[in-house]
Amino acid sequence: MIKPVLVIHGGAGAIPRTETTPEVRQQYEDALRQILNEAGAILAIGGSALDAVTEAVRLLEECPLFNAGYGAVFTSAGKHELDASIMNGKTLQSGAIANVTTVRNPILAARAVMERSSHVFLVGTGADDFAREQGLECVDPAFFSTTARREQLDRVQRTLGGGMVLDHDAQSLSAAPLDEDKKLGTVGAVALDSHGNLAAATSTGGMTNKQPGRVGDAPMIGAGCYANNRSCAVSTTGTGEMFIRMVAAYDVSAQMEYAGRTLEEATHSVVYDKLPTIAGAGGLIAVDAEGNISLPFNTEGMYRGYIKVGEQPFVAIHDKPEEALLSQDG
Ligand code: ASP
């Protein structure tokens, strides 16, 4: 019998070991736990994996702690450009949007593209206009700004000038459990429902100080998001350019389908073996059609958690104690 499961992530990155307080850490863990409980309830009443990942990502977008929707990072021009994608493992239907600036919940726009357009991927003003026409809530672009993110942009521009924010050797400047300036803060969710269907969703503000117009892996089906009932559902977080070049999310699925690998063998191959060969930093969450889970990352930490229906949620930021425990029976 299938035990439904929901897995989420809130981005991977470096850890300011000395500056994290238990209170701040608790804040992140509580947010993850609450989102798992709320979105996991959909699976508990027989709801679909697609609805569970949509709601989980919508809640992560609403939470300013995470870099998606409200609280998204700034581009080098001091604006927000949001990307999101979603995929249904049963039908391989997919929807994605990139560089939107007004849709309050980019994941809802991605889902609308999947279900209410004849396309897979809309970008820029066309995507914003489509979302508005579909009746989705649109906001002034300033809605997404928070003081913390503005200060983060200022810090990064002072420290790195025109550079990107992925230098994990740079000195920590933040009190959050994962350094906000070095965190690869995409959010995502994958799920298996009681009907045996898989789904994946990913949403991001991208990377702090990114060039206007830049699109990362998060909205690219196969790179930052993939779901197929024949194999697994995957959502990634990390240096998007490398995840695109590795076609990371699809590679996990392909290794399972074509090479007969287990979920864990496939995810470990991508995260620990393949991505590092091109300096790809980050991690992913994945669930297979049997309910096995894998949450590997090659950075110091990744905000992550999962809930199996009928059980308490598990959340973690730094250590990897769960790897050995994650089987459908575990
Ligand atoms: N993968 C995202 C991107 O490149 C960043 C992240 O994971 O935080 O836009």
Examine residue 74 and state whether it is found in any structural domain, yes or no. yes
- Return the minimum-mean-pLDDT range out of 42-51, 172-181, 242-251, 302-311: 172-181
Instruction: Count structural domains, the chain.
Output: 1
Q: Which two tokens stand for residue 48?
A: 């679909």
> Exposed, middle or buried by CB within 10 Å (0-12, 13-18, 19+), for 21?
exposed
Which residues form the domain of 289? 5-314
Q: What pairs with residue 301 in β-bridges?
A: 13
CB 186 less than 6 A from any atom of ligand 1:
yes
What CATH number has the domain bearing residue 233?
3.60.20.30
Examine residue 191 and state whether it is found in any structural domain, yes or no. yes
At residue 163, does pLDDT exceed 60?
no
CB 218 less than 6 A from any atom of ligand 1:
yes
Q: How far does residue 285's CA lie from ligand 1's centre (Å)? A: 14
Q: How far does residue 1's CA lie from ligand 1's centre (Å)? A: 36
pLDDT at 327 (0 to 100)? 45
What pLDDT, in 10s, does the model give residues 65-101?
A: 888 777 777 788 887 889 999 999 999 999 999 999 9
CB 217 less than 6 A from any atom of ligand 1:
yes
Q: Tokens 């995260």 identify what position?
A: 271
Query: Taking the CA atoms of the chain, what radius of gyration do you get in angstroms?
Result: 18
CB 152 less than 6 A from any atom of ligand 1:
no
Examine residue 329 and state whether it is found in any structural domain, yes or no. no
Greater model confidence, 54 or 172:
54
Closest ligand 1 atom to Cα of 282: 7
Most confident of 43-52, 146-155, 180-189: 43-52
CB 216 less than 6 A from any atom of ligand 1:
yes
Beta strand residue intervals within 128-231, DSSP E: 187-192, 198-204, 225-227
- Smallest CA separation from ligand 1 atom 8, residue: 184
The values of phi and psi at residue 305, to 5°, are -175, 165
pLDDT at 171 (0 to 100)? 32
Closest ligand 1 atom to Cα of 237: 7
At residue 275, does pLDDT exceed 90?
yes
Examine residue 321 and state whether it is found in any structural domain, yes or no. no
CB 85 less than 6 A from any atom of ligand 1:
no
- Return the minimum-mean-pLDDT range out of 46-55, 202-211, 223-232, 257-266: 202-211
Greater model confidence, 276 or 159:
276
Q: Can you tell me the distance from the alpha carbon of 46 to that of 44, in angstroms, rounded to the nearest whole number?
A: 6
Examine residue 328 and state whether it is found in any structural domain, yes or no. no
DSSP state for residue 324 in the 8-state scheme? G
Of the candidates 282, 202, 200, which has an alpha carbon nearest to the alpha carbon of residue 241? 282
pLDDT at 84 (0 to 100)? 97
Using the Cα atoms of residue 81, residue 306, residue 192 and residue 232 in order, give the sign of their dihedral. Answer: positive
Q: Pick from 80, 217, 302 the residue to mutate for probing ligand 1's pocket: most ligand atoms within 8 Å of its CB.
A: 217
At residue 169, does pLDDT exceed 50?
no
Examine residue 319 and state whether it is found in any structural domain, yes or no. no
- Smallest CA separation from ligand 1 atom 9, residue: 206
CB 112 less than 6 A from any atom of ligand 1:
no
Q: How far does residue 5's CA lie from ligand 1's centre (Å)? A: 24
User: Is 147 an annotated catalytic residue?
Assistant: no
Examine residue 132 and state whether it is found in any structural domain, yes or no. yes
Q: Can you tell me the distance from the alpha carbon of 237 to that of 85, in angstroms, rounded to the nearest whole number?
A: 13
Examine residue 190 and state whether it is found in any structural domain, yes or no. yes
Query: Which pTM value belongs to this model?
Result: 0.90
Q: Pick from 237, 284, 299 the residue to mutate for probing ligand 1's pocket: most ligand atoms within 8 Å of its CB.
A: 237
Q: How far does residue 195's CA lie from ligand 1's centre (Å)? A: 31
User: Of these residues, 20, 186, 208, 236, which one is catalytic?
Assistant: 186
At residue 182, does pLDDT exceed 90?
no
Q: What pairs with residue 100 in β-bridges?
A: 82
At residue 322, does pLDDT exceed 70?
no
